[in-house]
Each structure stands twice: as C-alpha cells, then as structure tokens.
Amino acid sequence: MISTMRPDIDNVDEYVRNTTARAFSVVASALGIPSLLPFLKAVCKSKKSWQARHTGIKIIQQIAILMGCAILPHLKAMVEIIENGLVDEQQKVRTITALAIAALAEASAPYGIESFDSILKPLWKGIRQHRGKSLAAFLKAIGFLIPLMDAEYAFHYTKEVVVILIREFPSPDEEMKKIVLKVVKQCCSTDGVEPSYIRTDILPEFFRHFWNHRMALDKRNYRQLVETTAEIANKNRR
C-alpha cells in the first residue's frame, strides 16, 4: 500500500496530498503506528520536496485525529519526526507542523507534556515572528499544550501568550478570532492561572473587543465567544 500511494505524497495538487494523508492514517490505524514510523521519518525529512515534507507531517496530524489517545506510546517519536517542520523554509510546512502538534496535544491530553519539550522553544519563537495563518496555527498548538503543563509552568506560559492574544483581539480574520477565543478559554480553564490575573489583564480588552454588536451578529463565532465568557466567569467564581 505504501508503494502504491508513495507517488502522491509530493503531488503538486494539495487536494491529492491531503487525501493521501488521510489514507495513510487509516493504514497506520490498521497496521499499527510503529510500522509506519521509519517511512514517516524519511518523508518528513525529505530534502528534495517540501510537498513531501508537508504530506508526511499531515499524515501524523491525521493519525492523531483518527486514533486519539492510542498515539500515547508513540508520542515522543512522532513529535521528534515533525519538530524540524516548525523552522522549515516553507510557510505551509511550518503551518501544518503547528497544526499537527495541536492535534497530537489534543489527542494525548491530559498526558504527555514531557514529549513536547523539544518543540516548546521554536513554538514560542514562532508566535513572536509569524503573522496570519501561521500565527493562528502556532497559537492553536500552544492552546492545546498549556493545559498539559504543571500549574506553575501553565501560568508562566499563559502570561507570555496573552500578550500576543490581546494584540490579535482586533483581527478581522474569522479563523484568527475563533482560535484566539479558543486559546483564551483553554488558558482560563487551566489550573494555576489566577482569577485575579484574568480580571486585570484579560477581561478589560476581552470585553472591549468581543462584546459588541458585530460579534453578537457573527453566527460563526458567537458560540465560541459565549463558551469562552462562561469559562472566564466560572474561573472567577472558584
């Protein structure tokens, strides 16, 4: 099966590559993740084609989505395979790597933070350098990693990321709004993040930018806004 699908890994058509990635995730589910790891390591480190690297990392994302907590025994190996993608020369590869890390963190929750040690530094560097879709993907990854951390570290990293989140509050981009709201909710629900910090550092800007007529009429994001606001309220009641 691998030899049959191999030519589609670096296909110029992104739709073909995405479909190939989903097919490989089903193969991994059927045959077991270890049987695919050597192949994925070679593909994700391909020097010939950024499309191949993109597809390899996409396969790991799809495996995490499909298999959930079954990835835990192989989590560290999967993170190590894709970690160089965060500093790849191609923006699309950097973006899919961050999304794959988000999927791995979501699938392994509430365990596995030690497996992500090697990617924390490039992730934090990335949120300061990137804008647009890449930044949204990096923020999404951090949003799923913070709840895995010990309380002390979670609070420290929350304070770091909130500066970027508040900067992006006025963003007109719908996807960025959705991710920013989700990450605020994830940070506020995490043990170790103080209610007093939320009240003083997050709430004023949060209400100023999100609780207005435009957001109330925004059918795509109002539910996430309500969920995030409810989480903030619950935190301040504890």
Number of domains in the chain: 2
Q: Do residue 188 and residue 233 come from a single domain?
A: yes
211 phi, psi to nearest 5 deg: -90, 80
Residue 130 lies in a domain: no
Mean pLDDT (the chain, rounded)? 90
Tokens 């935190």 belong to which residue?
A: 235
Closest CA to 163 of 142, 148, 144: 142
Q: Do residue 60 and residue 155 come from a single domain?
A: no
Q: Do residue 220 and residue 173 come from a single domain?
A: yes
CB 158 within 8 A of CB 187: yes
CB 140 within 8 A of CB 103: no
Residue 127 lies in a domain: no
Residue 141 lies in a domain: no
CATH number of the domain that residue 15 is part of: 1.25.10.10
pLDDT one-digit tens code per residue, 92-121: 999 999 999 999 999 999 998 999 999 999
Q: Do residue 106 and residue 21 come from a single domain?
A: yes
**pTM of the entire predicted model:** 0.91
Residues spanned by the domain of 190: 149-237
Confidence of residue 238 (pLDDT cuts 50, 70, 90): low
